[in-house]
Amino acid sequence: MGEGIYISRRNFLRGRYEGRGQRVCPPGATAASLEACTGCGRCVDACPTHIIQLIADRPALDFSVAECTFCGQCAELCPEPVFTGRPQHFPHVAMIGESCLARNHTDCQACRDACPTEAIRFRPRAGGPFLPELREEACTGCGACLAVCPVAAIGLREVRGESVHV
């Protein structure tokens, strides 16, 4: 498997062979800090949810497997200066796409049930299943909703600069 192509089990079974897109770094790591990574794989072994994988000898997160719990074990075992601090959120949030089952008149609330911060809620509507709404301020970007979505309708987008609070 080349660096430019990413094939998860879910995409393989659905026949989707998409470009990987932007790498999602483990919490506390940045694209710049990954330059110090030696590719030893200790972060991969340390991750209790098994979402870290090495792609081109650099750690990346695979949210199709599970979510990040922000446990910090990857940072604790890393021998290099790759991780800075111990953040409790990512610089991205979930976004619910138009292929969402609830938006297409099929009842599904798997993302709401999986979200540890209750960032996804469902609003009632007449004549159909409840519709998902994302509360960005509550979303940590952990990926729990991505792992459980049966139609892969949830993606990630960067947090807008004006909505970030320090």
Residue-by-residue DSSP string for 50-79: --EEEETTEEEE-TTT-------HHHHH--
What is the model's pLDDT at position 15? 44
What is the model's pLDDT at position 9? 52
Indicate whether 64 and 33 sit together in one domain: yes
Per-residue confidence at 10, pLDDT binned at 50, 70, 90?
low
Interval 46-79: pLDDT, tens: 999 999 999 999 999 999 999 999 999 999 999 9
Burial 3-42 (b: 16+ CB within 10 A, else e): eeebebeeeeeeeeeeebeebbbbbbbeeeebeebeeeeb
Of 53, 77, 101, the one marking the end of a domain is 77
User: Average pLDDT over the chain, rounded to whole?
Assistant: 85
Indicate whether 9 and 72 sit together in one domain: yes
Q: Which of 52, 51, 22 is nearest to 37 (CA)?
A: 52
**19 contacts 5 by C-beta, under 8 angstroms:** yes
55 domain residue, yes or no: yes
State the residue range of the domain holding 136: 92-163
Indicate whether 27 and 59 sit together in one domain: yes
